[in-house]
A and B are shown apart, each in its own frame.
Chain A
Amino acid sequence: MQRRSLLKVSLAGAVALSVGGGAGLALWPGDTSVRPQRPLLSLPERAFPVLVAVAARVLKGTTANPVEIAHRVDEALRYATPESRSDLADVFGLLENGLTGLMLRGQPRPFTLLDERAQDEALLAWRDSRVGLLRGAYHALRKLCLAAHYATPSSWAEVGYGGPAILKPEPPPLAADKPVVVDGAARSVEGMPG
Chain B
Amino acid sequence: MSDVLLSTRNLHAFYGNLQVLHGLDFSIATGGVTTLLGANGAGKTTTLRALTGMVRTRGDIVFGGRAIGGFATEDIARLGIAHVPEGRGTFSRMTAEENLQLGAMTRGDRRGIAADIERVYAYFPRLAERKNQQAGTLSVGEQQMLAIARALMLRPKLMLLDEPSFGLAPRIVEEMFVILRRLNQEEGVALMLVEQNAALALELADQASLIETGRLVMAGPAQDIGRDENVRRAYLGY
Do these two chains interact? no
Instruction: Please give the residue numbers on chain B whose beta carbons come within 8 Å of chain A beta carbons, in ascending order.
Output: none
